[in-house]
Amino acid sequence: MDKLKSVLSGEEGRAQDRTILQAANEASTLGWGTRMKGFIGCFVIGCVCTLLGVCVLFIPKIGITLFIVFYTFGNVCSLCSTMFLMGPVKQLKRMCDKTRALATTLMLTCLVLTLCAAFWWKNFGLALLFCILQLLAFAWYGLSYIPFIRDAMLKLVSMCIK
């Protein structure tokens, strides 16, 4: 009787659509074990690329270019690794929170400027400066996830400067 009632009221199509959406959602979500494997894998790839970049830095002529590529790719992989833990939409929302918006903007800007300086402007000194700024911005972004640590770091730096 419920089936007949849903067909007559036109709700059968909605129930089928909802089922399709639920099935698509279930198929696209990852289990906790898969999320951890993805996080660890992506983070390890990021760390290996960063270390590989440091290792190839001293190769004549192409070393600095390889360093910039590996270093930037490593940072991008490390940043993307956290998307496995909380999901891409939640990660993007957290990146754009008012407490992290400046750090996120600086980090992404430094990533882009590093690659521009290396490949478009061909200024490797500037590219290395942007790599250093990239490191600092990435660290500042990472610290934003630990409550009150950035305030403590600012106080520590102000005490050291005085």
Mean pLDDT by 10 residues, the chain (162 residues): 50 55 61 90 95 90 90 93 86 88 92 92 90 90 85 90 82
How many distinct structural domains can be found in the chain? 2
pLDDT for 89 equals 85
Q: How far, in Å, CA of 141 to CA of 92, rounded?
A: 13
Tell me the CA distances in angstroms from 156 to 22, 77, 137, 159, 160, one per residue in order: 50, 30, 18, 5, 6
Residues 157 and 77 in one domain: yes
pLDDT for 8 equals 46
Give kind and range of the element (H or E) at residue 113: helix 101-115
pLDDT for 73 equals 95
Structural domain that includes position 16? 1-30
User: Which residues have a Cβ under 8 Å from the Cβ of 4 and sit 6 or more positions away?
Assistant: none
Residues 73 and 12 in one domain: no
Residues 23 and 100 in one domain: no
pLDDT for 25 equals 53
Q: How many CA atoms lie within 13 A of 161 on its CB side?
A: 6
Identify how many contiguous H helices and E strands the chain contains and give both numbers. 8, 0
Residues 17 and 40 in one domain: no
Length of the chain: 162
pLDDT for 16 equals 52
Residues 26 and 37 in one domain: no
Structure tokens at 117: 């300086």
Residue 21 in contact with residue 42, Cβ under 8 Å? no
